[in-house]
Chains A and B, each alone.
Chain A
Amino acid sequence: MTGAASTTAASTTAESGAEQDYTSDEMMSIAAARALENGKRCFVGIGLPSTAANVARRTHAPDLVLIYESGTLGSKPDVLPSSIGDGVLAETADAVIGVPEVFNYWLQPGRIDVGFLGAAQLDRFGNINTTVIGDDYADPKVRLPGAGGAPEIAASCHEVFVVVRQSARSFVEKVDFVTSVGHGSGKGDRERLGLPGAGPTLVITDLGVLRPDPETAELVLTQLHPGVEVEDVRAATGWDLTVSPELTRTEAPTAAELSTLRTLKEASR
């Protein structure tokens, strides 16, 4: 489903000692890019999601439709934008629209296939926090930027991919603040809340890929990036991580993928 050819877990040990000529961040961006199918309409957050979406459009998914919340439908930037509203996004778009229209006419009725989001904190049910770290909203330990477009993107896109660096600090049992709903407190919560989309179906990190368990909606480890072991992922997860019995291994980045990613990054410096 992800478009990524995967080898089985059995072949992993042979690879794990191999020297890599790419970083774990590059592996994450490329794994995320592979998940985007050609022709899909994708609502793109800035940062890691935007990087991955632009790699996808330049490799296997030339007809991927990139939608940015600043009001661009079908952006085709030749460099990675620094913000969700860079001039290149508007100048290369099929249509430029006002911000109310983005949310009311295009997102809310369910016209967008994939919401592609980042997260500061993510929990075992894929709920996202980008608001505050700490228990007290009024007196936070760390004040984060806030919601932006994410709550409604997470609610209304047909499905959501999250791309985020994994650590025990960021992958927590329960987020301090639910900015955007993943699977709530478990299977069936989205239906009870009346959220139209399927929510997070894929979480791509610098260590591997997690997917919601079909029975419980809890995120389980389903894929390991090359050179990463299950214990590495457990150590970077703040809950008792379940590992899928069908654990697979991500195919290493191809030379073409790496060159596309690096060229894009270089061009935007």
Chain B
Amino acid sequence: MADIVSLADGVGELVHDGDVVALEGFTHLIPHAAGQEIIRQGRQDLTLVRMTPDIVYDQLIGAGCARKLIFSWGGNPGVGSLHRFRDAVQHAWPVPLEIEEHSHAGMANRYVAGASGLPFAVLRGYRGTDLPEHTATIKWITCPFTGEELAAVPAINPDVSIIHAQRADRAGNVQMWGLVGVQKEAVLAAGRSLVTVEEVVDELEPVAGQVVLPHWAVTAVAEVPRGAHPSYAQGYYERDNAYYKYWDSIGRDRDTFRTWVRDEVLAGRDSADAAGDKEGVR
């Protein structure tokens, strides 16, 4: 049975300095509150894994929590650049950031291999691009049946994966729906997992298109309403597009960012409150 814990206890117990940590959620259900709790607890030297680093990793990178990033697309969706990510890569601020760069297809397959208990995955990818020259975790393999040369990428098995879902029941069975990205794979590939949810309920009413993670496949569940904000939780709240634009003005400047960390994260307030004050958006 998954433990029902507070967010602070969940992060405190499951995320350690130096861990390989995956926070997943593809545009939808991004575990922002958990990311900010990692900053609040001062975790360092993390290897952060995520297909789309997004605002959530811009914050962790800017706060100096990461020493390495494994990713496939590092932009602010619909807005432009992730300035803290760029500053770390271009100027090693606040600490140097090693990068391991893939395509979405490669990252998705790395999670699938991890969830499947296999050492690697094969795909018809990367061919002719400059990525294999710079990314040591892309190699070539010959199909033993057809002779076709294919890309091979190693499994990702994070020490801990963190996702956000709509609901869990009191036993810790997790239910999510809408765009489910690679969240199931990220949880099943990981040694430990923390799922933040909009609400813990007595019974999980079935929803069309749902994915259910049984309680015995999840380490801990924390109830964190609006824990995905400024991304969205289908059935609960919409994507806060204004916040993504607002983030551009925060992330662009080191001092503005530091002030934001001090006032909005270390002071213990979550991003939902911060956005409500700043933008007048829900």
Contact = CB atoms under 8 A, between A and B. Distances in A.
Q: Do A and B bind each other?
A: yes
B263 interface: no
A145 B125 CA distance: 19
B27 A83 contact: yes
A36 B196 CA distance: 41
Contacts of A189: 128
Range for the number of chain A residues in contact with chain B: 35 or more
Contact of B78 (A46, A91, A99, A178): A46
A100 B108 CA distance: 5
A155 interface: yes
Contact of A82 (B28, B51, B77, B178): B77
Interface string B59-74: 0000000000001111
A104 B130 contact: no
A96 B209 contact: yes
Nearest to B82: A145
A150 to B, nearest CB: 7
B185 to A, nearest CB: 6
A202 to B, nearest CB: 20
B179 A103 contact: no
B108 A70 contact: no
Nearest to B185: A100
Given A100-B112, A107-B105, A184-B128, A90 B234 contact: yes
A181 B81 CA distance: 23
Interface of A: 46-47, 69-72, 81-87, 89-91, 96, 98-100, 102-104, 107-108, 131, 137, 139-140, 142-152, 155-156, 177-181, 184, 189-190, 193-196
Contact of A149 (B75, B105, B124, B127): B105
B141 interface: no
A104 to B, nearest CB: 7
A99 B104 contact: yes
B103 A151 contact: yes
Interface string B154-185: 00000000000000000000000011111011
A129 to B, nearest CB: 9
A181 B125 CA distance: 11
Contacts of B125: 108, 151-152, 155
Interface string B102-114: 1111001101100
Given A98-B180, A156-B124, A194-B127, A104 B108 contact: yes
A71 B185 contact: no
Interface of B: 26-28, 51-52, 71-75, 77-78, 81-82, 85-86, 89-90, 101-105, 108-109, 111-112, 123-131, 134, 148-149, 178-182, 184-185, 209, 211, 232, 234, 238-239, 241, 244
Nearest to A100: B108
Contacts, number: 170
Given A143-B90, A180-B129, A99 B182 contact: yes
27 contacts: A82-B77, A83-B27, A83-B239, A84-B27, A85-B28, A87-B178, A87-B238, A89-B179, A90-B178, A100-B111, A103-B104, A103-B105, A103-B109, A104-B109, A108-B105, A131-B101, A145-B74, A146-B71, A146-B101, A147-B101, A149-B103, A149-B105, A152-B103, A152-B125, A177-B130, A178-B128, A196-B124
A99 B108 contact: yes
Given A90-B179, A148-B72, A195-B128, A140 B184 contact: no
Given A84-B27, A147-B72, A149-B105, 8 more contacts: A71-B180, A87-B232, A100-B182, A104-B108, A143-B85, A151-B126, A178-B130, A196-B124
A134 to B, nearest CB: 10
Query: Which one of B112, B131, B238, B241 has the greatest number of beta carbons of chain A within 10 Å?
Result: B131
Contacts of A85: 26-28, 77, 179, 181
A151 B134 contact: no
A90 to B, nearest CB: 5
Contacts of A100: 108-109, 111-112, 182, 185
A179 B77 contact: no
A194 B108 contact: no
A148 B131 CA distance: 12
Contacts of A87: 28, 178, 232, 234, 238-239
A174 to B, nearest CB: 11
Contacts of B73: 145-149
A71 B180 CA distance: 8
B90 A82 contact: no
A98 B184 contact: yes
Closest 4 CB pairs of A and B: A85-B27, A145-B75, A148-B73, A82-B78
Contacts of B124: 108, 152, 155-156, 196
